Amino acid sequence: MNISIGNDHAGPDYKFAIVEFLEKQGHQIINHGTDSENSVDYPDFAHPVAQNIVNGTADLGIVICGSALGVSMTVNKYAPVRGAVCWSKEIAFLSRQHNDANVLCIPARFTSIPQAVAMVETFINTKFEGGRHDRRVKKISC
């Protein structure tokens, strides 16, 4: 699976751990994140992840910032993107199963790295349930 990842200065350590986990699973990573804790602007790293989803370069995306709110707002500007702010693997599970989320938005200041990796594992391994949820997901985009 091709997975696009982007992060601001709150998430380099998260990105490194997540990329290591995903590569061990055999996934291909498209890295748009910063490797530094020097202050940067989160949209600069979230837009390319969303664009990878839109153009089909990536199957799923992961974005990381302090609260996950800024990156979530950014990726959700793109009609085919459904970015979900998640703080537990249970929420990550439901975001995929019920909402067909295709971008996981991680709040680095409110989760630990092991929690984030567990959310990623759950996110990439959960399938969309469809059925009654399909009707609802089709109503999301404007």
Residues known to be catalytic:
65, 98
The CA distance from 109 to 94, in Å, is 22
The DSSP code sequence of 75-139 is HTTSTT--EEE-SSHHHHHHHHHTT---EEEEETTTS-HHHHHHHHHHHHHPPP--THHHHHHTT
Helix%, strand%, coil% for the chain, nearest 5: 40, 15, 40
The CA distance from 14 to 98, in Å, is 26
* 48 and 6 Cβ atoms separated by less than 8 Å: yes
Q: What letter does residue 66 receive in the DSSP assignment?
A: S
